[in-house]
Amino acid sequence: MVEKYLEHVRVEKRLAQRTVELYALDLQKLSEFAAVGGIALLAVQNAHIRRWVAQMHGGGRSGRGIALILSGWRGFYTWLGREGRVQSNPVQDVRAPKAPKPLPKALAVDDSVQFADWRDQSADPWLEARDAAMVELLYGCGLRVGELVGLDAIASSGARGWIDLQAAEAHVLGKGAKRRSVPVGRKALAALETWLALRDGADARTQQAALFTGRHGTRLTAQAVWQRLRQRSLKAGLATPVHPHMLRHSFASHVLQSSGDLRAVQELLGHANITTTQVYTRLDFQHLAKAYDAAHPRAQRKGDKG
């Protein structure tokens, strides 16, 4: 039956050879599980599949890996059903264990400040002023990269977002076309004023409304911001390459560490649901746990000296 199914997906469905090989491995695993339990493949029930999923998960296989295996098994039993060999698909309602959601990567406070303060003295002053202002806004305001590149230098009827230097605010268009205003700090304001003086001065390279532009005067893309930040972080000597969302995570984590006000962080980030923001409480707890381990005499593990 397995060989006939593999021939079916190879010839009739015209799947790639590598995909067929992966299906073969998945079905070999299914056959092994069934053989150990003394169960014929046509007699496999939903409870058997769930037990085998638990065994794979207990053996250390990831949720994603199990999901791929289940997909292969599900396709096999769907085919058997069409062939009239089984009455129901035992894999139909079985789902892989959810993979733990990774914590967002955030810089330490010292690294964030080092990165925001760093200046490349050898760079083109126009590009340096622009990049420094971008870093200050991303870390100082917690903007998404799409919100950053959507900013205009001044407000207008068609603007997605703009900077109000007088009010020290950035008005952005976030996810779900929701607008919000965030405060712009002193350091970011100074960096913006330096950048705008060059952007609009005698050496101006653009007449665009966009706040951040490239060498040829067109609005900067999100991809370009990613590339510039990565290069800048490596030059600045940071151990980890920095990307825009890392600065947003750092902003959220550091504000929460200092204030403890989760609702305020939610508003600043523009999260529709506070459960999205709660991931930063886990980051904050990690920070506290490290401080505890390093400082408290009762935190030392067995075998540690001191």
Is the predicted pLDDT of residue 122 greater than 70, yes or no?
yes
Round to whole Å and give the CA distance between 288 and 275.
Answer: 21
Q: What is the pLDDT of residues 207-231, one digit of tens each?
A: 678 999 988 888 999 999 999 999 9
Round to whole Å and give the CA distance between 249 and 103.
Answer: 10
From 105, 187, 271, 287, the catalytic residue: 271
Q: What does the block give as tokens for 57?
A: 């998960």
Is the predicted pLDDT of residue 296 greater than 80, yes or no?
no
From 232, 248, 249, 254, the catalytic residue: 248
**Mean pLDDT over all residues of the chain?**
87
Q: Domains plus CATH for the chain?
A: 2-82 (1.10.150), 109-291 (1.10.443.10)
From 64, 85, 175, 290, the catalytic residue: 175
Which pLDDT value is given to residue 202?
57
Q: What does the block give as tokens for 185?
A: 């700090």
Round to whole Å and give the CA distance between 99 and 55.
Answer: 16
- Answer whether 277's CB lies under 8 Å from 252's CB: yes
User: Is residue 199 annotated as part of the catalytic site, yes or no?
Assistant: no
User: Is residue 280 annotated as part of the catalytic site, yes or no?
Assistant: yes
Which pLDDT value is given to residue 248?
93
User: Is residue 82 annotated as part of the catalytic site, yes or no?
Assistant: no
Exposure string of 92-119, with b = 16+ CB inside 10 Å and e = fewer, is eebebbeeeeeebebbeeebbeebbeee
Q: What is the pLDDT of residues 64-75, one digit of tens each?
A: 899 999 999 999
User: Is residue 243 annotated as part of the catalytic site, yes or no?
Assistant: no
Which pLDDT value is given to residue 102?
65
Q: What is the pLDDT of residues 227-270, one digit of tens each?
A: 999 999 999 999 889 999 999 999 988 888 888 888 888 888 88
From 5, 23, 77, 280, the catalytic residue: 280
Mean pLDDT, rounded, for 47-57: 95
Which pLDDT value is given to residue 68?
93
Round to whole Å and give the CA distance between 184 and 165.
Answer: 8
User: Is residue 175 annotated as part of the catalytic site, yes or no?
Assistant: yes
State percent of the chain over pLDDT 90.
59
From 48, 130, 144, 243, the catalytic residue: 144
